[in-house]
């Protein structure tokens, strides 16, 4: 990973959050439907974030082992 990968991930997540908020606010739905949509989106986003952090953890471990072998 490059030094800027953290910035890219942060920018992506911020864009996703802003897009989701705009979509929810502009969608013509009842309060209950909107809450369900937000809840589903939050669950999905949390799962995606967890997967990304696990991938990052694996990458860090891999690089650590490479450095220790050097």
Boundaries of every domain in the chain: 5-69
Tokens at 50, concatenated: 């967890």
Which sign, positive or negative, has the C-alpha torsion 56, 62, 66, 67? positive
Structure tokens at 42: 């939050």
What pTM did the predictor assign? 0.53
Cβ neighbours of residue 13 closer than 8 Å, sequence gap 6 or more: 49
Q: What is the pLDDT of residue 41?
A: 83
Q: Which residue has the higher pLDDT, 13 or 65?
A: 65
pLDDT in tens, 6-61: 788 888 888 888 888 787 777 777 878 878 888 898 899 899 889 989 999 999 99
- What angle (nearest 5°) sits at the alpha carbon of residue 43, between those of residues 33 and 46? 145
Residue 10 tokens, joined: 């942060």
């Amino acid at each position: 990973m490059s030094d800027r990968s953290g910035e890219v991930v942060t920018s992506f997540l911020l864009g996703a959050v802003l897009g989701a908020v705009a979509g929810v606010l502009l969608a013509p739905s009842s309060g209950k439907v909107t809450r369900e949509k937000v809840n589903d989106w939050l669950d999905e986003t949390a799962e995606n974030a967890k997967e990304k952090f696990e991938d990052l953890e694996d990458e860090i471990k891999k690089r650590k082992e490479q450095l220790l072998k050097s």
